[in-house]
Structure 1
Amino acid sequence: MILKQQLWREPWLACFVITAAVSAIQVFPPIGMTLNLFMAPYWSVITLNLGFILIIKACARGNLPRFMLALPLVWFAGYYSLAGYSNWAVSSLDDKIEQEIGAAGAALAPLSADVIVVSEAALSRLSLDYNLKQFYRPPRKNCRSTIKTEVKSNWCDRKGDVQNGCTIMSQPWTSISGKQLCWEQKIAEPLQPAVTITDEGVTADSFWYRGEIHRLSFLTTTGEKFEVSAGRVASLSWFPSPIMGCSLVDQPSSWTCFFRWGYGDLRELGTKAAGQSEVDVIASVLGLSLR
């Protein structure tokens, strides 16, 4: 079939040529770094989608044969199939984590156990924002004793002491709700069954979502172990967002070219409330309420 316009004059073709040209010249680091200042890897989001839309327009005007409609059909329908599965995968992951939290909480709540928190990052939020009355920090390199911290509902002066190589502190804090609290520390072992909480690391991203998924371990003194995931991920965005270009990456340092899809907003897993973190999931498993 003879096209009504010369091929080189077709605007849809210009979109694809621009996409290929911009991506190709980014291979050279000096040019690529300059273009990155103008967000060049994201230009393909506009040029590729515009190219397929212009194919539809050209077919509607009779400037292209109708079989060319197969190209935008495969592009958009194929992508929306991927995006739909990506959102389903995140929802399924969220449901699975909620079930993990429910199962672990049902098993641990009746124990009324002391809590040993290995993750330093979780200590302050658990004790300040939630009604955790006491917790323990296990021995570590510079301090070979278990440190007990009692959280009291009163103000105190900041002071410290060193015992057996361990820094023992009394320290005032303010909770998220504005309550005055005091940390009082001493060397002591748990007097009742304890639950040791460990953050076992962050899992890698998959094609279907991007983000961080922490694997939390709850180990009782009887040897029972419960694992719960927590974190936040983003599924593929509903609008096709192909990102093409090159950038400088670390470990090892190199100029690397890539193609990837754009993702939507991060979504918290295992909780219905926005802005929550793995600390909030720990509190949910332990049955702790906000102060």
Structure 2
Amino acid sequence: MRRALPNSLLFFVATGIVFLLQKSPATGIFMMLMLAMFWSVILINAGLIGIAIEALTGRVYRAWILLPLIVYVTNFGFAAYDHFTLKTLRAAYDIANAQVHVPFNSNRQALVFDKDGSPEWYTQNYALEAAYLANEKQPEEVRSTRLIDRALCDAVRGNSSLSAARIYTFGFHDGEALGGTGFERRFCTISMPEAPKMPVIRIKVEKSHSKVAFLPIQNATTTIETPDGKRVKLRGGTASPLYWIPMPVMGCALNSGAPSWDCVWVLLRDDFTPIVSGSTRYRRDLFTLARALGLRPVAKSERKAGSPPAVILARMEKIESETLQRQLANLDAMIADPLLDNPDWDVGVLARDSGILSQKSTMIMIGVEKSAAITGTHRGKARESGRILAGLLARLPDEIFRQLKPRILGVYNKADDEHWLWEAETLIRRLGDLGVEAMPFLINPRASGGNVNNAGIEAICRVGVAGRELAMPALLSMWNASRDRFDWDRRQALFVAMQRLNIEPPPLTQVKGNQLSNPRRTSSDISPQSPASVCSTR
């Protein structure tokens, strides 16, 4: 017997219930987190398809098939019209853009983008040594963008003084999406304040919203202005055609701008569909501009770093020198008075200069001893200077570090369990270079705590097989006490240390999944003959 109403109408009832639950912020906030506003896409389409099946199988009157038929045919018709409009626009834009040719010579001209430009993308993917970014609200603020070698990237990134001068570096991925074809590890982009010295070709992108027939458009008009004042335009942007099947979105969400709790009912569209032709989903307008300027594309394998301009090198050298002098003054102040107020933790330039560190080694050791000797209520204040000095002590060359062995072990011999010396991570790691005599301090649980990232375990590993007898009980105890999910890094360090000390890691009672597969795969070839460098697992 045929029913008057199809059971599939319950999908529409469910859609209404879900929508009503979203109307109230009390329940809607939880529904929002579960993306409930998109459930209507599935529920409504399931209801329409269900009605069609029930009508075709005779469970309800065949007239019910008109409902899904009308919905799908209507949506298909509007979607087809949107795509026809998009195709027409694409043809018109392509014809207009093909007429634009602005020869650009990077040896004689500079390419300056307004604030919405992407100069870094062009230096990464085209034979363009430098491009510039201007801010129309602050015409005096122009930044250059270049591709530079990784070594220079690291030098710039590690110098906070260069950051203070607004000189920044950042890496980038290739491909359409983030991580699409991997992170570029040979080069990075450097951005710094620098005005172009050659005649300027200025690029300005203006965006606006409009509608062609039923098709929403975000227009992107790129204006190219040559040094003689001539202007030409490229047309681009994105469109939002309907999907071929209806995608109704019903729900509520927090509008943080108002702020208010807003509800919507819309047909989802395929936003950010590029208008101009191309083989990529994104950046087609950038390719269009590159073709108009005659830029030569460069394959990833053919990338070359640009030569840093003299201004960068001169500024880096000047800042480096000034920073070193400031850090030396800070060092002398901490040594003279371990209770110095707010010592500067930035000692990166000094830490990289092994020559000056070697010259200052005795004074640094004196500073550590003075800070370590302070007790009582002032110990906490001495902790800051002490940890900075301990970090510099750990950066000393091997020969000089070993010469200070009796004095280094002496300060640890006097340190109780609450002393800040057990927080000096880099120094604890270097204690392993002092040999078996350091083992009594390295097997102290404080040396391998989470606050020092298991530094003592690495130090034990560095001691090597000579410390096996003293180290074995401590390593096995930590190994057996390690826990799944929480101690992955600790197990990795312990596995490496035991391999180098010729200790067989016993089976663990708590091991899930592949907790030990990575250590065994990457570290099973470590032996007592392996160099101490294998001990560094961080």
* Alignment coverage as a number of residue pairs: 275
Does structure 2 conserve the Cα–Cα contact (< 8 Å) formed by 1:216 and 1:229?
yes
Bigger Rg, structure 1 or 2: 2
2:47 aligned with 1:47: no
Aligned-residue Cα RMSD (Å) equals: 4.1
Corresponding residue for residue 226 of structure 1: 232
Q: Which has the higher contact order (CA 8 A, sep 6+)?
A: 1
Report the CA distance between 1:120 and its aligned residue: 6.8
SS at match of 1:26: helix
Question: Which of 279, 290, 295 lines up with 1:288 in the alignment?
Answer: 295
Would the alpha carbon gap of residues 25 and 156 (structure 1) be closer, same or farther in structure 2, given more than 3 Å must change? Answer: closer
2:116 aligned with 1:109: no
For 1:272-287, what aligned pairs fall within 5 Å after superposition? 272-277=278-283, 278-287=285-294
Would the alpha carbon gap of residues 65 and 114 (structure 1) be closer, same or farther in structure 2, given more than 3 Å must change? Answer: same
Paired AA for residue 4 in structure 1? R
SS at match of 1:33: helix
Corresponding residue for residue 268 of structure 2: 262
Corresponding residue for residue 5 of structure 1: 3
SS at match of 1:5: coil
SS at match of 1:235: coil
Report the CA distance between 1:179 and its aligned residue: 7.1
1:154-207, CA deviations, whole angstroms, 9 ceiling, x for partnerless residues?
999678xxxxxxx7979999997857999998656434xx42111223546886
Select the structure that is richer in strand.
1
Corresponding residue for residue 29 of structure 1: 25
Report the CA distance between 1:75 and its aligned residue: 0.6
For 1:1-291, what aligned pairs fall within 5 Å after superposition? 4-5=2-3, 7=5, 10-104=6-100, 106=101, 108-109=102-103, 114-119=110-115, 121-135=117-131, 144=140, 189-191=197-199, 194-201=200-207, 203=209, 208=215, 213-264=219-270, 266-277=272-283, 278-291=285-298
Would the alpha carbon gap of residues 245 and 6 (structure 1) be closer, same or farther in structure 2, given more than 3 Å must change? Answer: same
State the alpha-carbon separation in 1 of the partners of residues 8 and 97 from structure 2: 51
State the alpha-carbon separation in 2 of the partners of residues 44 and 227 from structure 1: 42
State the alpha-carbon separation in 2 of the partners of residues 55 and 102 from structure 1: 50
State the alpha-carbon separation in 2 of the partners of residues 171 and 61 from structure 1: 65
Does structure 1 conserve the Cα–Cα contact (< 8 Å) formed by 2:145 and 2:189?
no
SS at match of 1:11: coil
Would the alpha carbon gap of residues 48 and 142 (structure 1) be closer, same or farther in structure 2, given more than 3 Å must change? Answer: closer
State the alpha-carbon separation in 2 of the partners of residues 96 and 198 from structure 1: 21
Per mean C-alpha deviation after superposition, the further-off stretch among 119-128 and 242-251 is 119-128
SS at match of 1:25: helix
Which 5+ residue runs of structure 2 have no aligned equivalent? 157-164, 175-183, 299-538
1:55-113, CA deviations, whole angstroms, 9 ceiling, x for partnerless residues?
22333343433333321211110011122122223333333332332122x3x138985
Which 5+ residue runs of structure 1 have no aligned equivalent? 160-166
Would the alpha carbon gap of residues 93 and 143 (structure 1) be closer, same or farther in structure 2, given more than 3 Å must change? Answer: closer
State the alpha-carbon separation in 1 of the partners of residues 136 and 271 from structure 2: 38
Report the CA distance between 1:275 and its aligned residue: 4.9
State the alpha-carbon separation in 1 of the partners of residues 49 and 194 from structure 2: 69
Paired AA for residue 103 in structure 2? A
State the alpha-carbon separation in 2 of the partners of residues 45 and 168 from structure 1: 47
